[in-house]
Amino acid sequence: MSSILIKNIRAVDTRNDVLTDVFIDNGVIAEVGTNIHSGADELIDGTDLVLMPSLFDMHVHFRDPGQTEKEDILTGCAAALAGGVTGVLAMPNTKPPCDNPGIIEYIRKKAEGTGVDVYPVGCITKGMKGEALCDYDELKKAGCICISDDGRPVENAEMMRKALELSNENGLLVASHCEDLNIISGGIINKGETSAKLGVKGMDRASEDYITAREIILASSVNSRIHICHVSTEGSTAIVRFAKSRGIKVTCETAPHYFMLTDKLLEKRDADYRMNPPLRTPEDVRAIIDGIKDGTIDCIITDHAPHTAEQKADFEKAPNGVVGLETSLAAALTALYHTGEIPLKRIIELMCVNPRRILGLEIPAVQVGKTADLIIADINRKWTVDPEKLHSKSHNTVFKGMTLTGRNLVTISKGIIRYDERK
């Protein structure tokens, strides 16, 4: 394993923000300080750049097995590394769904050697059909650390309550896709002025708010943890905030498009701006930002959901979902850091520390003895998102043509440079 010396770089984690040199040897940070002189195999000039812990995205869809025309584990990991992500939770709505040890083993083995720690999420219910619970002990033994039926909700409240109750016994995190399908009833974008203007069926925010409240009530009843996926509304944010104030063990996440964009973009009738939950209103965007600032929202994720151009061609019939692994850091820096909403250390908490803390994983830091899971970024670099240059198989990004400020340049996973834009 080669050694790396990074000179004159701003090293930032949740504890430190210093100009320093960093020496990496045998996969770990061996020295941090000024004027380090070492015969390293790789020398990196960090002038005007930032070194920080690598990102962990606890909500991605790699489509493998079963839909590899959209993405596979290898291309998904390549996209992750380009975005500075060295760990992911891969959601279970594959084909077939990830509800047994065989599929979990397939995903984990295929991800070996990529430089990305891929944690397959097991299903809450068999086949994601909502009819019977999976064998959670079996899933955990196979390597699961989280269960979810993401892509759809668990419609039966008692079944969800039982899953939460069992999670207290096996330690698995339960993550919920908060959507009431009866309320949605075929809606494809946020219900409001834009849906009315376009004459398409809308998705009422009550769907998300109601199930968010339901999950919190159920978790409270059995004193279990619950993680709320992809929060997008002012109402859900307020519900989570209240639950936290009552000591309920709830955590939640949001994605960059929910704190940057509104449903007005759907006036283009471009399905690349359709995802579930959908883009909302300016009031929701502000509420999500406020939730990030006050600690209500724990994590920034992507809900990376690739679809082919052909699948996205028909605005009203296209599947929901957008890719985001390669733009998430840039989007967060653009919308939250460069606007003065939150400091850089808070970005690191949201994208590096909190996801791993929630999942009970080792948290990287720029400290001697820590595993070298790091990224080097130019946080002031302006660049325009070109979908054709993405590493993902699919290019359905909401940020196409947008100029963002901040970009990952180098991704180091366990001491190995796995992505280097400079080369």
Q: Active-site residues: which are they?
A: 303
Query: Is residue 195 within a helix (H) or strand (E), and if so which, with residue range?
Result: helix 193-198
Bridge partners of residue 203, in order along the sequence: 190
Judge whether 408 and 392 are in contact, CB under 8 Å.
Answer: no
Distance of alpha carbon 59 from alpha carbon 355, whole angstroms: 10
- The token pair at 258 is 């929910």
Distance of alpha carbon 29 from alpha carbon 9, whole angstroms: 14
Which distant-in-sequence residues (6+ apart) come within 8 Å of 149 by Cβ?
A: 92, 93, 123, 124, 125, 128, 130, 177
CB atoms < 10 A from the CB of 269, how many? 12
- The token pair at 68 is 């590899």
**Closest Cα partner for 173 from 111, 228, 97?**
228
Distance of alpha carbon 276 from alpha carbon 293, whole angstroms: 24
Distance of alpha carbon 149 from alpha carbon 179, whole angstroms: 11
- The token pair at 208 is 């998300």
**41-63: buried (b, 16+ CB within 10 Å) or exposed (e) per residue?**
eeebebeebbbbbbbbbbbbbbb
Distance of alpha carbon 272 from alpha carbon 282, whole angstroms: 19
Judge whether 233 and 258 are in contact, CB under 8 Å.
Answer: no
Q: Is the peptide bond before 277 cis (omega within 30 degrees of 0)?
A: yes
- The token pair at 389 is 């240059």
- The token pair at 265 is 């973009």
Strands 416-420, 403-413: pairing is antiparallel
3-class secondary structure, 342: coil
Distance of alpha carbon 154 from alpha carbon 399, whole angstroms: 31
Judge whether 304 and 325 are in contact, CB under 8 Å.
Answer: yes
